[in-house]
Homo-oligomer: A and B are copies of this chain.
Amino acid sequence: MHSLKEITKPIKSELEAFNEFYKQSLKSKVSLVDLITNYILKQKGKKIRPLLVLLSAKLCGEISERTYRGAVLVELLHSATLIHDDVVDNADKRRGFPSINAVWKNKVAVLMGDYLLSRGLMISVDGKDFDFLSTITNTVKRMSEGELLQIQKTRKLDIDEETYFQVINAKTASLIETCCEIGARSVTDDPDKISAMKKYGENLGLSFQIRDDVLDYEGTTKLFGKPIGGDIKEKKITLPLIHAFKNVSKDEVTRIKKLIKNGGKSDDIKTIISFVQKNGGIEYSEKMALELAQKAKKSLIIFQESPEKKSLQNLVEFVVERTN
């Protein structure tokens, strides 16, 4: 398995330059804002999104000021989203630290999210990166619509494979795709390169989300993130279950749905997990994740071999092979 350290190697110095630029972009005259941004900076996330922007840019041309602005834009959007998510989910931890809402209360957390998002948009406006703005606002729309579609379907426990792909495309793959698109656009106008990077990002994102959904059904404890069966408890029907339903009678589907509706008691969750495992849900989903991962790697075929290309390929494997 590839490590993130190995993957980031070809853009090590650029990632450092990004970190500096990111830090600068967070500065504010309001001391409470500075206090909170310093708290955020201390946490050092994985920075997968800026990493994608930088690698995509280096693969397509020469990393520029515009690339850094794009990387800061996606990271600020991502941070804003996480902070707002923690408010909505009433989460009191994030990356091992108490969440912003836990330390400073909900109001401050929501305002900080708005502040970070507007900072990101302003950097693009100031840099006249109007193509980035077009891409990113469309992404925010798709992400929120995708989540709302999932909630709508979830409440009726009624979702087929086609809708599942529509949902994960909108809520997860779209931002990953946007990172790769912004990276490419920051250095080239070549439509073939841009389109290749978008396809890479989309398939990487889909593969990532399916892997995430499979992890919810796997018998080992997850190191980080939600506990096993978390999705079932939230009444989220994902690919493993959707596929398992295809292989059984209507009565069996009704019986399992009833268990989910009942609120997912510990015993019921065990029953549902073994139902999914027995009826090929895991196997099928893993096959799908692998196929999409192959697709992602294949879309890089138009590029010559390079350390950046190798890293993007390794990142795909990193995502599909991860166990947490």
Contacts and interface: CB of A to CB of B under 8 A. Distances in A.
A115 B130 CA distance: 20
- The secondary structure that dominates the A interface is helix
B112 A144 contact: yes
A152 interface: yes
A226 to B, nearest CB: 15
Contacts of A145: 28-30, 33, 115
A22 B175 CA distance: 27
A137 B110 contact: no
Interface in A180-198: none
A24 to B, nearest CB: 15
Interface string A165-190: 00000000000000000000000000
Interface string A98-122: 0000000011101110110111011
Interface string A14-56: 0000000000000011111100000000000000000000000
Interface in A272-291: none
A261 interface: no
A149 B110 contact: no
Given A118-B137, A130-B125, A137-B125, A32 B110 contact: no
Oligomeric state, in number of copies? 2
Nearest to A80: B114
A91 interface: no
Contacts of A152: 30-32
B110 A122 contact: no
B133 A121 contact: yes
Interface range on chain A (Cβ under 8 Å from partner): 35 or more
Nearest to A101: B88
A115 B137 contact: no
Contact of A149 (B30, B117, B137): B30
A84 interface: yes
A102 to B, nearest CB: 15
A32 B155 CA distance: 11
A87 B112 contact: no
Contacts of A110: 84, 87-88
A39 to B, nearest CB: 14
Contacts of A144: 111-112, 114-115, 118
22 contacts: A28-B145, A32-B148, A32-B151, A32-B152, A33-B145, A87-B87, A88-B106, A88-B107, A88-B110, A107-B151, A112-B144, A112-B148, A114-B143, A115-B141, A115-B148, A117-B140, A121-B121, A121-B140, A122-B141, A125-B130, A125-B137, A128-B130
Interface of A: 28-33, 84, 87-89, 106-108, 110-112, 114-115, 117-119, 121-122, 125-126, 128, 130, 133-134, 137-138, 140-141, 143-145, 147-149, 151-152
Given A87-B87, A87-B106, A114-B140, 19 more contacts: A28-B145, A30-B145, A30-B149, A31-B152, A32-B148, A32-B151, A84-B114, A88-B106, A107-B147, A114-B143, A114-B144, A118-B137, A118-B140, A121-B133, A121-B137, A122-B134, A122-B137, A122-B138, A126-B134
